[in-house]
Amino acid sequence: NAGVMQNPRHLVRRRGQEARLRCSPMKGHSHVYWYRQLPEEGLKFMVYLQKENIIDESGMPKERFSAEFPKEGPSILRIQQVVRGDSAAYFCASSRLSSVNEQFFGPGTRLTVL
Amino acid sequence: GQQLNQSPQSMFIQEGEDVSMNCTSSSIFNTWLWYKQDPGEGPVLLIALYKAGELTSNGRLTAQFGITRKDSFLNISASIPSDVGIYFCAGALQGGSEKLVFGKGMKLTVNP
């Protein structure tokens, strides 16, 4: 089975542009989690989604950030009007069940805001 | 937000040596997990712990879930060059939340 796929692997945006990060979960997985990692830091939870539902968005910034996981297609993390502080690695994880120990991580998208 | 205090932040060891690292928190965790992250990649799960006092091994790795449920340690025995990387502890807070709280990581360097 293919693992969790994320694209693009690297994304460069200028301040004020939009960034769209995609995550295709492992086959058979219907739970998706997004985490952000700043340089020299651990991962920080952003949002947990099931198909067509946001379950927990307690880690999402109040403005400019949104996430979706449609019935068909990948999960999308969208950042509007990016600022330099948004530069980070964004990781997606997926699980078949709602389970902390069965979260498999993708390779991440490294966002650089110029 | 919740934080895990992971120490040490980095270690430089010789091949063949053992290494220990630990994580502590002021909150109670239901699950403790240890991950390894290679440069440019996502974290890979090494060991998962579910019960206070549990001691689990995976090859040369051994981890324990602290009795107080507020700490965990990971040991790597007889290190080899491919053990190089960043090791993270992570936990799921009491209350059933699926989100993981991560430590800041320990960067391990192994000199051959």
DSSP string computed for B17-81: --EEEEEE-SS-EEEEEEEEE-TTS--EEEEEE-STT-EEEETTEEEEE-TTSSEEEEEE-S--G
**Confidence class for position B2, pLDDT limits 50, 70, 90:** low
Q: Tokens 């340690």, residue?
A: B73
Distance CA B76, CA B56 (A): 12
- The sheet carrying B5-7 orders its strands as B5-7, B19-24, B71-76, B61-65, B55-58
Of B31, B97, B105, the CB nearest to A101: B31
Q: Average pLDDT for residues B85-99, to the nearest whole number?
A: 83
Report yes or no: B25 and B3 within 8 Å, Cβ to Cβ.
yes
pLDDT at B3 > cutoff 60 = yes
Q: With beta carbons under 8 A apart, name residues in chain B contacting A48.
A: 98-99
Q: Average pLDDT for residues B2-7, to the nearest whole number?
A: 85
**Confidence class for position B94, pLDDT limits 50, 70, 90:** confident
**Confidence class for position B96, pLDDT limits 50, 70, 90:** low
* Helix, strand, or coil (residue B110): strand
Residues forming a β-bridge with A90: A36, A109
Q: CB–CB of B105 and A42 under 8 A?
A: yes
- Of B22, B11, B49, B39, nearest in space to A37 by CA: B39
Rg from Cα positions in chain A: 13
Distance CA A57, CA A33 (A): 10
Low-confidence ranges of chain A (pLDDT < 70): 1, 98-101
Q: Which residue of B has its CA nearest to A56?
A: B99
Looking at residue B92, its pLDDT comes to 87
> Within an 8 Å CB–CB cutoff, is residue B38 touching chain A?
no
Distance CA B18, CA B77 (A): 4
Q: Average pLDDT for residues B65-92, to the nearest whole number?
A: 95
Looking at residue A83, its pLDDT comes to 97
Q: Average pLDDT for residues B79-93, to the nearest whole number?
A: 94
